[in-house]
Amino acid sequence: MQAKKVVRRKSIRKRVRRSIRGTADRPRFSVFRSNKEIYAQLIDDDAQRTIVAASSRDQDVAGDKIKKVEQASKVGKIIAEKAVASGINSVVFDRSGYLYHGRIKALADSAREGGLKF
């Protein structure tokens, strides 16, 4: 069962990446979710570089003993603050094949509240 989930996610990710491209003006908001942590990046695909990154392993979030959904929403707020500070307001959301609920939805909603548009 586990192998099927991984293969399914990779095929969805591949299909979505064909249509989503990040630019310097509107970078790709990529999310990776592990069992314990969540990571978010704003990526410029044209220049092939990460503009802004945040994760649940950062100093601001790592010390808190909170649930994973709350952790994801904190990461969303942090990445939104960093993005707005670097002059980015609009992004393309790439959920990386994960279903849009739970931690992914919490991250996206808090990033929207922080000022990102997608």
Residues 37-63, mean pLDDT to the nearest whole number: 92
pLDDT at 1 exceeding the cut of 70: no
pTM, to two decimals: 0.88
Class (C level, CATH) for 2-113: alpha beta
Domains of the chain, residue spans? 2-113
Long-range contacts of 32-35 (CB under 8 A, 24+ apart): 32/96, 33/96, 33/98, 33/103, 33/104
User: Is residue 16 over pLDDT 90?
Assistant: no
